[in-house]
Structure 1
Amino acid sequence: MTSSDALAEIVARSLADAFALLLPVDCAGCDEPDIALCEACRDALAPAATCDRLASGLPVWSGLPFEGVAARVIRALKQDGRTGLARPLSMPLRAALAAATTSVGGVDAIVPVPTSRAAYRRRGFRVVELVARRAGVRTERLLLPARRVADQRGLGVEARRANVSGSMRARGTGARRVLVVDDVVTTGATLDEAARALRAAGADVAGGVCVARTPRHARASS
């Protein structure tokens, strides 16, 4: 992280904390007033790590299904800048990473999917890296955006793949074994593109990890 990135993230977190003191806060999971995350919603974020494979064959470990409370809390972090929610979301990420590393026999690096410049300017922080830090996980920024992409929301499976195709490049990977980490996985198009870029640079991609995975029935219609 550059010094300017670090300063921007500190300022963004400070502003978010200041607004939280000045403005009413509702539970991110259920809208209960005067609490950032109620006990019931915090319990709903208890990790339930699972693994499945993308159509490409890449194994993906997730900490939670992306639905209900988990979906609402992740959206509050990403869309509303409620950075305090990164800590409860770090538990399912930590569980998914533990399951992944146990299954593949260890890795040399945890690589976050890159944040676009536009998203970073809008939020002031990188979602995946923030949650990983709260989980006590060191990531290595080996992936960089190679071009702009459109918003994936509302796109079908093939449109998502076309949208992200060739959108990343990797650096400094060597022949290391890596896991790629993202916040939410739906069709897996982004993880597949990340794996492609890393392999092109010589890395051995053992799999992907995410905080939450869209349930299979929802993926089939997206």
Structure 2
Amino acid sequence: MTAHTLIRESLLDAAAVVLPVRCAGCGRPDRSLCDACLEAVRPAARVHDARGVPVCSALPYEGVARRVLLAYKDGGRVDVARALGRALRGAIAEAQRQAPAVGERSALLPVLIPSTRAAWRRRGYHPTRSVLARAHILVPPLWRALRLSRQTADQAGLSADERSGNRDGSMVASRRLAGRECLIVDDIVTSGATVAEAARAIRVAGGRVVGAAAIARTPRRSSAGAEATLR
């Protein structure tokens, strides 16, 4: 995290304390997240397959969770990052438990999906990295372990085929990942195209993709029966 980003987030956090706020989930006054909405973003990890990569997600991307994530990513509500960090921590912990044992395993290395230049200019920070910092996991990510080899369009509003074409061949992984057991980390998983592209790049660099963790997953009604809920 750069000094500029740290200062910006600190100022926004301070403003959220001093200025009147409304709940990011329901709009109730004087609460960053009311008790009911805080409970709604409590992690309940689910695991599903995303193009061959097992993904643990903490929340369904709907209702309160969707409103809170949109407020955080596009509304400047960094005051909810701590609650989202708790959710992401739950997904990462479950991914660690679900990972197949290979000898004596240490904690998996988190590898963050990179932001596009347009998203960085718009927000001034990497939203998933900021949430991960508040998740208080033991192993920090390698900064720029993944980078974009070309700029891609916003995935929102694209079909599954368009999402795949938008991401295919768009990432390059650092050789520092060679021989490492990696856990891809993202905020929201929809079609799995981004996770699949990240996995491809990591494998090309010599890393081993054990799985992925996300704050939320967009529900896919057709595959609901194949999804396992982990309590």
Aligned with 1:160 (options 134, 156, 163): 163
Please point out which of 44, 48, 59 is paired with 1:48. 44
Could you list the runs of 5+ residues in structure 2 that have no partner in the other structure?
Answer: 225-231
Change (3 A) 1:167 1:219: farther
Opposite residue 166 of structure 1, the aligned amino acid is G
Are the equivalent residues in 1 in contact too, given 2:42–2:87 (CA < 8 A)? yes
Change (3 A) 1:126 1:154: same
Cα separation, partners in 2 of 1:88 and 1:22, compared to 1, 3 Å = closer
* Cα distance per residue 1:12-56 (max 9 Å; x no partner): 2134235436754211000111221111100111111010102x2
Letter in 1 for 2:88: L
Equivalent pair of 2:96/2:108 in contact (CA under 8 Å): no
| Amino acid of the structure 2 residue aligned with 1:202 | G
Between the aligned residues of both structures, percent identity stands at 46
Q: Does 1:70 align with 2:72?
A: no
Whole-angstrom distance in 1 between the partners of 2:82 and 2:223:
27
Distance 1:91 1:165, change over 3 A: same
Gaps spanning 5+ residues in structure 1: where?
none
SS at match of 1:193: helix
Residue 149 of structure 2 corresponds to 146
Aligned pair 1:213/2:217, yes or no?
Answer: yes
The size of the alignment, in residue pairs, is 215
Q: d(CA) in 2 for partners of 1:22 and 1:110? A: 34
User: Matches of 2:180 and 2:147 in 1, distance apart?
Assistant: 17
Higher relative contact order (CA 8 A, sep 6+): 2
1:207: how far off? 0.9
- One of 189, 194, 208 as aligned partner of 1:204: 208
Q: Give the aligned partner of residue 177 of structure 2.
A: 173
Contact kept? 2:110, 2:185, Cα under 8 Å: yes
* Distance in 2 between residues matched to 1:181 and 1:191, nearest whole Å: 9
Q: What is the distance in 1 between the residues matched to 2:148 and 2:68?
A: 26
User: What's the secondary structure of 1:207's corresponding residue?
Assistant: strand
In 2, Cα distance between equivalents of 1:191 and 1:81: 25
Cα shift at 1:108? 4.0
Asked whether 1:97 is paired with 2:101, we answer no
Aligned to 1:37: 33
8 A Cα contact 1:12 1:123, kept in partner: no
Corresponding position: 1:119 with 2:119: yes
- The answer as to whether partners of 1:186 and 1:219 remain within 8 angstroms in 2 is no
Task: Classify the secondary structure of the residue corresponding to 1:34.
Answer: coil
Q: TM-score, normalised by structure 1?
A: 0.90
Q: Counterpart amino acid of 2:77?
A: R
Distance in 2 between the 1:96 and 1:13 partners?
Answer: 24
Aligned equivalents of 2:4, 2:116: Cα separation in 1: 15
Q: TM-score, normalised by structure 2?
A: 0.87
Q: 2:7 — aligned with what?
A: 11
